[in-house]
Structure 1
Amino acid sequence: MLTLTRVLPPNAAAAVVTTLSLTAGDRAKSRHRFTADDGTPLYLTLARGTVLRGGDLLAGDGDPAGLIRVVAKPEPVLLVTAASSFDLLRAAYHLGNRHVSLELAPDGLKLEPDPVLEAMLAQLGGLAIAPATLPFEPEAGAYRSGMHSPIHSHSHDHN
């Protein structure tokens, strides 16, 4: 079993030997056994609190000659869109007030399916809510320093 202990930026100069497709929940597990997409057994032993992003590269303690690329695995989500930016902003406010994990985009929101939240959003009005199966990359949160986020620069060592 290959033990992976380091996270490298997506642009690291080394050969990728396989991929590891993980849901958003699985990408938040810092110590767990997984199976790579090619069937290779893997064990993650990363720093506690590490949240992986699609595109990250994983390596063991030795030479990073064979890296594993993390893929954001498609999973069930709710897509929320609105005709007005205010309606979308209001939806994000109400979801954030409930500490819901969200993926933000200029034209919509993605969240894990939840019938109570879906009903709340429908009550707000002005929103289109649709189920989908897509990769989910929720925001890491303002207080999670050192965690990955879509704008994370990767300018430091993850040890």
Structure 2
Amino acid sequence: MLTLTRRLTPDPTATVQHTLALTAEERTRSRHYFETETGEGVYLHLPRGTVLRHGDLLQSEDQCCLVRVIAKPEPVLVVTAKTPLDLLRAAYHLGNRHVPLEVTETYLRLSPDPVLQSMLEQMGLQVAPAILPFEPESGAYGQSQHHHVHS
């Protein structure tokens, strides 16, 4: 079993030995056992508070192996609006509820929640369930590195 102890910045040209598909919630775990897409067991032993992002590389403690993290498709709600102001209002109301939220210029994504879905629909927004990668914001005091997965 590989023990992954170091997070490296994304490098699409890096040669990796394994790919690790994780949900948004799983990417917040710094100490956990997972299996790669080929069934290889890996143990994350990263600094507490590490939040992994799509494309991050993980290095094994013996430095011989690289694993690429990918955002695993998961159930989400995709929120769109007729105007940018309507989308901004939705982000404001969801932020007041401290909901993990993926924010882009054209849509918001959040985990399925029937109460929030109803609120958004009552605000006149379009809400569609989907199974897509989910890359919520890391927070104002989180990591400075920021990138989205578009699908």
Fold shared per TM-score above 0.5: yes
Residues 147 and 40 of structure 1, relative CA distance in 2, 3 Å threshold: farther
Does residue 23 in structure 1 map to residue 29 in structure 2?
no
Checking the alignment, whether the CA contact within 8 Å between 1:14 and 1:66 is kept in structure 2 is: no
Offset from partner CA, 1:29-68 (integer Å, 9 cap, x none): 00000001111100001000000011100012223x4200
Residue 14 (structure 1) shift: 4.6
Match of 1:136 in 2: 134
Residue 96 (structure 1) shift: 0.4
Secondary structure (helix, strand or coil) at the match of 1:121 reads helix
Alignment of 1:143-154 (within 5 A): 143-144=141-142, 146=143, 148-150=145-147
Once residues 58 and 22 of structure 2 are traced to their aligned partners in structure 1, the CA distance between those partners, rounded to angstroms, is 13
Please, which runs of 5 or more residues in structure 1 have no aligned partner? 152-159
Checking the alignment, whether the CA contact within 8 Å between 1:51 and 1:147 is kept in structure 2 is: no
Alignment of 1:24-63 (within 5 A): 24-63=24-63
Residues 14 and 90 of structure 1, relative CA distance in 2, 3 Å threshold: closer
Checking the alignment, whether the CA contact within 8 Å between 1:49 and 1:147 is kept in structure 2 is: no
10-19 vs 40-49, which moves further: 10-19
**Aligned AA for 2:33?**
R
Once residues 117 and 96 of structure 1 are traced to their aligned partners in structure 2, the CA distance between those partners, rounded to angstroms, is 12
Offset from partner CA, 1:97-117 (integer Å, 9 cap, x none): 101111011111000000011
Once residues 3 and 117 of structure 1 are traced to their aligned partners in structure 2, the CA distance between those partners, rounded to angstroms, is 39
Aligned residues between the structures:
148
Q: TM-score scaled to structure 2, two decimals?
A: 0.92
CA RMSD of aligned residues (A): 1.6
Q: TM-score scaled to structure 1, two decimals?
A: 0.88
Residues 107 and 46 of structure 1, relative CA distance in 2, 3 Å threshold: same
**Aligned AA for 1:69?**
R
Once residues 52 and 14 of structure 1 are traced to their aligned partners in structure 2, the CA distance between those partners, rounded to angstroms, is 17
**Aligned AA for 1:118?**
Q
Checking the alignment, whether the CA contact within 8 Å between 2:12 and 2:55 is kept in structure 1 is: no
Secondary structure (helix, strand or coil) at the match of 1:49 reads coil
Identity %: 59
Does residue 80 in structure 1 map to residue 79 in structure 2?
yes
Once residues 51 and 147 of structure 1 are traced to their aligned partners in structure 2, the CA distance between those partners, rounded to angstroms, is 11
**Aligned AA for 2:6?**
R
